[in-house]
Amino acid sequence: MVFFLQMVFAGLSVGAVYALIALGLNLTFWTTRVLNFGQGSVLMIGAMLTAVLIAYGVNLLLAVLIALVAAGLVLVVTEMVAIRPLLKASGSMGWVVSTLGVGVFLQGLASLVFGTQAVAFPDVLFSSSATLQIFGAWVSVQYIAVFVISVVIVGLMELFLRRSTWGYGVRAVAHDRELASLMGIPVRKVVLLSFVVSGVLAGVAGILTSQISGTVDPGFGLHLLILAFVAAVVGGMGSAVGALIAGLGLGVLEKLIAGYYSPAAAQTVAFVLLVVVLAVRPQGLLGKKETVKV
Amino acid sequence: MNPLHMLGKAISSPWLVGGLCVAAAAGASFVDQGTVQMWCFLIVNIMLAQSINVLTGIAGQISLGHAGFLAIGSYASAILLKDYGLPFPLAIAASALISAAVGYVLAIPSGRVREFYLAMMSLAFGLIVYELVREWRGMTGGVMGMRGIPSPGLGTLELFGWRISPEWYFRIMLISLIGLMLMLRNFVKSHFGRAFYAIHVSEIAAGSLGISQGGTKRFAYALSGGIAGLAAGFYAFMVGYITPESFTLMRSVEILVMAVVGGLGSLVGQVLGASLFTYLPQQLQAFSDYQYIVYGLILVFSFTLLPRGLAGLLGTHTRYSKHDQLCGQVPDLDTVLSQRSGGGQALVEVRDVVMNFSGLRALDGVSLTVRRGTVTGLVGPNGSGKSTLVNVISGIYTPTAGGVRFKDEEIAGWPAHRVARAGVTRTFQDPRNVPSFSVRENILMGAHRLYAHGAFAASVNSAAARREEGRFLARTAALMEAAGLSAYADDPVGDLPYGIQRLVEVARALASDPELLLLDEPAAGLSDTEAERLMALVRMARDHGVGVMLIDHHMDFLEELVDEVVAFDAGQEIYRGDMAGMRDDPTVIEAYLGKEETSHA
C-alpha cells in the first residue's frame, strides 16, 4: 500500500509536468495548427543551461532566468526558420521534419559543448533528501513542489487565456486567423507570443523534471515530449483542463506500471493508449470535433 | 540544356544503370570483402530510402521512426531463421510481411486525425521499439544484442546446402533491389500511385474521386513498412550481429535525411541520397563527429533551399501514368461515357434536408429530384445553400436531418469516397486539380473508381493492368479532344490559365463515367470559347443519360442547358420550374436584387 501510494504521488508529480509541456504544445497548435517536434530538446536546453550555469557559480534565480529566456528564444527562432517558411506551401508537412531537425541540431550542439554524459542537476527546489509523510508514505518534498508549481502554472495560464487581452488574442487567432487579422488583432505578435510562452513552459518543465530525476543529458526530453503529446491528445487537443487531467492520469498510470512491471511496459501502454484514443475518439476526452472546411 | 539536367538524364538511362549493375555483379568477385559489404550496406540504405519515398514523397505522410520497422524486421528474420529454421528468403519475406502489418496497425487512426498525429505516433513507435528490444532479453538478447545470426560474411548462411558467399549474397540483394525498383516504378505510374499522390495534395478532391483517405494512408504505411522489412531482413543476415543501438532515433533521422536529400518523390533520387550518406560518413571523420548537427541542419533547411533534393537539381521528373510505357499500345476507343438507359427516372432524391452549422441553418428543409438524362440548375444569391447542398449529396457533410436517396440506396452520411464510388462525381467552386500532374494525369485520375486491377498487377504491369490503363488513357485522350485540351496534354495543370483548369476538372469528373454529375459554378471565369466547350461536355453527359446538377450565376449559360431550375434563398427553395418563369418570378427577383421601393407611389 505504501509503495502504491508512493507511485501515485510520483505519478501525480510527473503527470503535472506532462500537462505543463502539453499546454506548451497546445498553445502553438492553437495559433498556427503546428507544434514543435523538437520540443524535447527545448526541455533539455532549459535544464542543461540551469545545471551548467549553477555549476559555474551563477546565482540560482539568474541561472533559471537565463535558461528560460534561452528556451523562449529557441522557439521564436524555430518559428522563424523552421515553421513559417514551410507553411507557405499549404498542405505540406515539411515543418514536421524541420522542427525535428532543430531538435536534432540542438542535441548535437549540446553534446558538443557539454559532452554526451549526463550532468548532475543541483537542488533548485528544496533538498532531494527532504521528505514528508502523507498517509503513511514518505514523499519527497521535491515531488510535492514540482506538482504544486506545475498545477499553479497551468491554472495561471488558463486564467491568462480567459481573462487577459493577450489571452483573448490567442483565442481569437485560434478561432479564425484571418478574421482575427481583420478585426485588428496583431496576429503575428500573438503567434510569436504563443511560441515564446510555449518555449518558457518547456524550459520550466525541463528544470522540474531534471529536479526529480537528478540528472540531465543531451538526449533528454524526447520521451517527455511524446508522453506530453499523449496527454494533449487524450485530453483533447486544445483543452487545457483536458491536458491537466490526462497528464495526471497518464503520470500515475506510468509510474504504477513502471513500479510494478517495467518502464518499457509503461511506455508501451502509453503508446497503445494513444493509438486507441485516436482510433476511437480522435477529438480526445474533452476536445471538440474539428469541422472540415470546403 | 542545363548540364546538370543532362547528367540527370544520363544517370537515369536504363543502359547506364543496367551496365553498372552488371559490372557490379561481375566485379564483386574481384574486390575485397569489405567493399562488397559496403555495396550491400548501400543496397539496404537504398531500400530504406525508397520506403520513406513511397510514404513521404508519394503519399505525403511522414515517418520519424523508420528504425522501428528496421528493428522489427531484423529481429524477426533473424529469429525465424535461427530458432525456427526457415530458409533465408522465406525469413526475409516474412520479415517484410510482419513489418507491413505493423505499418498498417500504426496507421489505423489515419483518415480521422490530422496528419502530424501520425508523424508523432511514428516518432513514439521508433522509440518504443528501441526500448522493447532492449528489455525483451529472452527474445532479442537485450542490450548485449543478438549474436550468431547465420551470415554470408562468416560463411554460415546456407540455403538447401548451398553455402552463400558474400559475393552471391550481394548479387541476390542487387537482383532484389532491381526487382523492387521496377515494381515501384510501375506502381507509382498506376492508379495507386495517383491515389497516393492525390491524398497528399488534396484529400477532399481525392475523396470526390472515390479515393479513401484512411484506406490509402494505411496502405501507404503498410507498403512502406513492408519495404523497410525487406531491407531489414537482408540487413540482419548481412551483419550477422544486431544490437538495439543500430535502431536508435538517429538511425531514423539518417534514413529520413537520405530520402529528403535524394529528392522526395523521385526513385532515382533515393539512390543518390542513399549513396551520398553511405559513403560520406566513411570518408569524412569530421562528418561522424558532427553527425547530429549536420543532420539537424539538413532537415531544417533542405525543404526551403532544395525542396526537390538532388533529383530536382538533376531535373528528373516522376510521371504518374503509363502513357510513356504504353505508347503505341493505346487501343481504339470504345466509348467516352457509358450510354445509360432509363431517361427521366429519378436518380437522386433529396428529402427535407436540414443542415446546421453551429447555429447557422444553411439548408432548411430542401427537397428536390434529379432525373437521368436531365440537367437541373441551382440558382440563388451567395450563401443561399447551393454549394452546401452539393456538399451534402457528395458526402462531405452529413445532413442534420433529412435523407438523400441515390438509386436504391440511402447515401446521406456516407463518406465522400463511398458516394463517389457509387457513381456521384462533383467539381468544386475553386478547381481542385493536382497542380503538378499533367492535364492527362489529372483527367486519368478521374477514372480511379473504375479500375479493377490490384496493386500487384499494377506493379508487374500484367496484361490485364496494361489493358485497363490503356483503355482509360484512350478515354482520357478522347475527353481532352472533346474539351479542347489536347494541346495541353502534358503540361502541369498548375501552370495553365484558370479557365483551362476548370475544364480539366470537368473532364476529370466525366472520366469517372458518373451517373450523377454535380457541377459547382463550372462556368465562372471561362472565356466564351471555353464556355462553349463546357456546354458541349454537359450536353454529352446528358445525352448519355447522366443526371446533371448545375450551380451557376450566368443565366444565359443556364438557359442553354437546363431542363428545370430551382432557386434558393436562405436555405429554402423559393422557385422551381423553367427558366422563363424564374426570370419573371417576384420572389426570385427580390432575393437577387432586393425589394423595390413602392411606398412613395
**pLDDT higher than 70, residue A292:** no
Q: What is the total count of domains within chain B? A: 2
Residues B224 and B104 in one domain: yes
| B145: CB partners within 8 A, 6+ apart | B241, B242, B243, B244, B245
| B453: CB partners within 8 A, 6+ apart | B462, B464, B465, B468
**pLDDT higher than 70, residue B157:** yes
pLDDT digits (tens, 9 = 90+) for B315-339: 888 888 888 888 766 666 667 888 8
CB contact under 8 A, B121 and A274: yes
- Domain annotation covers residue B2: no
Range A88-99 average pLDDT: 80
Among A34, A35, A267, the residue with its CB nearest the CB of B128 is A267
A91 band by pLDDT with thresholds 50, 70 and 90: low
Residues B356 and B463 in one domain: yes
Q: B15 or B273: whose pLDDT is higher? A: B273
CB contact under 8 A, A93 and B115: yes
pLDDT recorded at residue B286: 74
- Domain annotation covers residue A291: no
- Domain annotation covers residue A285: no
* Interface probe, candidates B130, B204, B258, B300, chain A, greatest A C-beta count within 10 A: B300
- Domain annotation covers residue A292: no
- Domain annotation covers residue B142: yes
- Domain annotation covers residue B560: yes
pLDDT recorded at residue B75: 95
C-alpha cell at B311: 533529383
Residues B244 and B350 in one domain: no
How far is the alpha carbon of B4 from chain A, nearest alpha carbon, in Å?
Answer: 26
* Interface probe, candidates B303, B355, B391, B518, chain A, greatest A C-beta count within 10 A: B303
Query: For A98, which residue in chain B has the nearest alpha carbon?
Result: B300
% chain B with pLDDT above 70: 98
CB contact under 8 A, A109 and B293: yes
Residues of chain A contacting residue B128, judged by C-beta atoms under 8 Å apart: 264, 267-268, 271
- Domain annotation covers residue A214: yes
% chain A with pLDDT above 70: 96
CB contact under 8 A, A81 and B300: yes
Among A85, A226, A275, the residue with its CB nearest the CB of B304 is A85
d(CA B61, CA B53): 10
pLDDT recorded at residue B332: 67
CATH number (domain holding residue B354)? 3.40.50.300
- Domain annotation covers residue A287: no
Among B61, B123, B293, the residue with its CB nearest the CB of A37 is B123
What's the whole-number average pLDDT of chain A? 87
Residues B36 and B176 in one domain: yes
Out of B248, B267, B289, a domain closes at: B248
What's the whole-number average pLDDT of chain B? 90
Query: For A29, which residue in chain B has the nearest alpha carbon?
Result: B116
pLDDT recorded at residue B404: 94
CB contact under 8 A, B296 and A108: yes
Listed in order, strand segments (DSSP E) in B160-256 are 162-163
**pLDDT higher than 60, residue B382:** yes
* Interface probe, candidates B248, B292, B302, chain A, greatest A C-beta count within 10 A: B292
Among A271, A278, A290, the residue with its CB nearest the CB of B128 is A271
CATH number (domain holding residue A37)? 1.10.3470
**pLDDT higher than 70, residue A115:** yes
- Domain annotation covers residue B300: no
The residue whose grid cell reads 501515485 is A8
% chain B with pLDDT above 90: 58
Task: Name the residue range of residue B544's domain.
Answer: 346-593
**pLDDT higher than 60, residue A209:** yes
Residues of chain B contacting residue A235, judged by C-beta atoms under 8 Å apart: none
Range A169-177 average pLDDT: 86
The residue whose grid cell reads 486567423 is A177
Q: Is B200 on the interface with A (CB under 8 A)?
A: yes
- Domain annotation covers residue B269: no
- Domain annotation covers residue A286: no
Among A35, A111, A268, the residue with its CB nearest the CB of B292 is A111
B92 band by pLDDT with thresholds 50, 70 and 90: very high
- Domain annotation covers residue B129: yes
Out of B189, B218, B248, a domain closes at: B248
Element (H, E) at A176: none
Residues of chain B contacting residue A96, judged by C-beta atoms under 8 Å apart: 62, 64, 116, 119
Interface of B with A in 125-154 (CB under 8 A): 125, 127-128, 131-132, 134-135
For residues B390-399, one letter each, b for 16 or more C-beta atoms within 10 angstroms of the residue's C-beta and e for the rest, the string is bbbbbbbbeb
Between A242-251, A256-265, B562-571, the lowest mean confidence (pLDDT) is in: A256-265
B275 band by pLDDT with thresholds 50, 70 and 90: very high
Reading phi first (left if > 0) and then psi (alpha if -120 to 50, else beta), residue B411 is in: alpha
Among A93, A101, A294, the residue with its CB nearest the CB of B296 is A101
pLDDT recorded at residue A141: 84
pLDDT recorded at residue B51: 97
Q: Which residue, among B566, B578, B519, B541, has the nearest Cα to B343 in the 3D structure? A: B541
pLDDT digits (tens, 9 = 90+) for B413-452: 899 999 999 999 999 988 899 998 999 999 999 999 999 9
pLDDT recorded at residue B584: 86
Range B23-39 average pLDDT: 89
Q: How many contacts (CB atoms, under 8 Å) link A and B?
A: 139
Interface of B with A in 434-473 (CB under 8 A): none
**pLDDT higher than 60, residue A294:** no
Out of B214, B248, B282, a domain closes at: B248
CB contact under 8 A, A96 and B290: no
**pLDDT higher than 80, residue B548:** yes
- Domain annotation covers residue A107: yes
Residues of chain A contacting residue B249, judged by C-beta atoms under 8 Å apart: 222
Cβ atoms within 10 Å, residue A57? 7
- Domain annotation covers residue B497: yes
pLDDT recorded at residue B601: 45
User: Does ipTM surpass 0.95 in this model?
Assistant: no
Range B507-528 average pLDDT: 93
CB contact under 8 A, A97 and B60: no
Residues of chain B contacting residue A28, judged by C-beta atoms under 8 Å apart: none
- Domain annotation covers residue B27: no
pLDDT recorded at residue B597: 61
Asked whether B203 and B19 are in contact (CB, 8 A), the reply is: no
| B465: CB partners within 8 A, 6+ apart | B190, B453, B457, B458
pLDDT recorded at residue B420: 95
d(CA B465, CA B469): 6
- Domain annotation covers residue A293: no
Interface of B with A in 204-223 (CB under 8 A): 204
Partners of residue B356 on adjacent β-strands: B361
Query: For B390, which residue in chain A has the nearest alpha carbon?
Result: A294
Cα four-point dihedral sign B121, B123, B129, B134? negative
pLDDT recorded at residue A17: 93
CB contact under 8 A, B296 and A106: yes
Among A98, A108, A111, the residue with its CB nearest the CB of B303 is A98
d(CA B269, CA B255): 13
Among A35, A105, A263, the residue with its CB nearest the CB of B300 is A105
**pLDDT higher than 60, residue A16:** yes
Task: Name the residue range of residue A47's domain.
Answer: 2-280
Highest-pLDDT range among A31-35, A274-278, B253-257:
B253-257
Q: What is the total count of domains within chain A? A: 1
